[in-house]
Amino acid sequence: MRVRATAALRAICALGFSAFLIAAGALQASAQQVNPTFTAQSFAQLGASTVRLELTPELLSNYIANRQTARLNSAALDQANALAVGGFPLIPPQPATRRLTPQLLQNYVQSSYVPTATLVENMRAERTCLAQAVYHEARGEPESGQWAVAEVILNRVKSSRYPNTICGVVYQNANLRNRCQFSFACDGQPDGGGDGNRIIRESWVRANVIAEAAFQRFETGDYLTELPENALYYHNGTVSPSWASRMQSVGRIGGHIFYASL
């Protein structure tokens, strides 16, 4: 203790009495834990996001009082400087809202508008095309096999290699006899179903139920799970088409073998 007192006395003599008073005042303020002023150093320790959320009038006043000594180059200080001079809005500017004018409405009608009745008719036609394909291609298959045929058709709709509608996929090349994608579409026979005995009628009803459910899931983005998404082809297991050797088999369901591109 005596050594420390002697060292302190020598420091006082070296610095002078005025310096001693300044140092003593600083120590007293620290001992009392007074509220810290908003200095350049304390401001630099705050992130820009923190300043935006916790900037109070007292904090800003302390900064303004000390800004002559706050010359650090930081995003937080730039923001506080802008706030101090009124150049930084507390609420970010909102994007301008386009007004609905007669011209904008006319452009929409001419380019994108589809009447509700037309939308309903198109959806009904899409579901019917899918039901016809399931019925003619897989009515003798187990239910999972009928779902798989519907899934191949819907996978093709999503693929850039095929038309982007169900009817477009089902009836692709239908004008070329025996060269279409699905044989029933170009065999010259009626494409409807359900006319006949009880088994035929039940098969038509089942195909429509599966088509309706598959179409609804497709429209809502609920992916079917019988096959992988890249399964785009299938053939009956009783035949061996030449193209099958260029594809990757992804499974057999019922009497059909399904493939994806290599």
Q: Name the residue with higher pLDDT: 246 or 53.
A: 246
Per residue in 33-83, pLDDT tens?
444 444 555 545 544 444 444 556 666 666 666 654 444 555 555 665 665
pLDDT of residue 104: 83
Look at the domain 117-224 and name its fold: Arc Repressor Mutant, subunit A (1.10.10)
Task: Please name the residues in contact with 55: beta carbons below 8 A apart, sequence gap of 6 or more.
Answer: 80, 83
Q: What is the DSSP letter of 202?
A: H
Q: Are 126 and 165 in contact (CB under 8 A)?
A: yes
Q: How confident is the model at residue 224 (pLDDT cuts 50, 70, 90)?
A: confident
Residue 108: per-residue pLDDT: 79
**Residue 207: is its pLDDT beyond 80?**
yes
Q: Taking phi first (over 0 means left), then psi (-120 to 50 degrees means alpha), and beta for anything else, what does residue 17 get?
A: alpha
- Give me the percent of the chain exceeding a pLDDT of 70: 63
Name which of 13-17, 99-103, 117-121, 142-146 the model is least confident about. Answer: 13-17
Q: Which of 91-100, 155-164, 174-183, 187-196 has the lowest mean pLDDT?
A: 91-100
Res. 22 pLDDT band, cuts 50 70 90: very low
Q: Are 228 and 219 in contact (CB under 8 A)?
A: no
Judge if pTM exceeds 0.85: no
Task: Quote the pLDDT of residue 140.
Answer: 94
Domain map (residue ranges) of the chain: 1-34, 38-89, 117-224
